[in-house]
Homo-oligomer: A and B are copies of this chain.
Amino acid sequence: MIAHIPLNAHPNPKRVLVVGGGDGGVLREVTKHECVEKIDIVEIDDSVVRLAKQYLPDMAKGYNDPRITLHITDGFDFLRTKTAEYDVIISDTSDPEGPAEVLFQEEYFRLLDNALTEKGVISMMASENVWLKVTVLEKLRATCKNVFPTVEYAYTCVPTYTSGQLGLMICSKDAANDVTTPTRLWDREVEASINRYYNREIHRASFVIPTFARRYLA
């Protein structure tokens, strides 16, 4: 979902950056999009990549795609050198509390914004969900709004996460982009054969939240 929602919300994504996501799971999903020509991944810790290849081969198989270039370095440093290079950036990082805190702050979003092409879309792991810390999401959404004209909260169901949900923030540089509706679609049969979770209906449904959460997130 963290890959398919922004990719299918972009009109024609050719260049994609993954920040974090060293396990290769996001890469595996990105490679399902044939329109994508180039995929950069910037991971700070090479042991994540090595261990994923050794112990999580089904995730790490994403690395086998020739469109991928792996950069072992700090995401901040990498982004500072990039301007208008990526159509989609997927920020697959740790929780907002702890060492990854800076990846949930405005300076980081400004770097993402600068690295995006004109109609660029980002998605980021928001880690929290409406049940646990809806006010953390509210603050994160407000920070994103300082940078991006379009900001929408989505969630995906992950049974092993606390309370069963994982929140995402989907942002676009294009104020007219309704990211809640997929603009590009696989054929129905292809969609069903390559995705265990994602489908066009679940794209839309993932933006629908309970009434109590709306005053924080909509």
Q: Give Cα A146–Cα B177 distance, bound, in whole angstroms.
A: 45
Q: Is A192 an interface residue (CB 8 A)?
A: yes
Q: Give Cα A20–Cα B163 distance, bound, in whole angstroms.
A: 26
Q: Of the 9-residue stretches A11-19, A79-87, A107-115, A197-205, which lies at the interface with chain B?
A: A197-205
Q: Is A35 an interface residue (CB 8 A)?
A: no
Contacts A131-B159, A157-B165, A164-B163; A192 near B214 (Cβ below 8 A): yes
Q: Out of B131, B198, B209, name the residue touching A211 (CB < 8 Å).
A: B198
Contact with B along A156-176 (1 / 0, CB 8 A): 010111111100000000000
Q: Is A55 an interface residue (CB 8 A)?
A: no
Minimal Cβ-Cβ distance residue in B for A191: B211
Asked if B208 and A196 sit within 8 Å, CB to CB, the answer is: no
Residues of A in contact, count (CB < 8 Å):
27
A199 proximity list for chain B (CB < 8 A): 210-211, 214
A64 proximity list for chain B (CB < 8 A): none
Closest Cβ of chain B to A200, distance in Å, is 10
Closest Cβ of chain B to A46, distance in Å, is 32
Q: Give Cα A210–Cα B198 distance, bound, in whole angstroms.
A: 6
Minimal Cβ-Cβ distance residue in B for A215: B192
Contact with B along A176-199 (1 / 0, CB 8 A): 000000000000000110011111
Q: Give Cα A165–Cα B190 distance, bound, in whole angstroms.
A: 28
**A contact set with B: CB distance below 8 Å:** 131-132, 157, 159-165, 191-192, 195-199, 201-202, 204-205, 208-212, 214
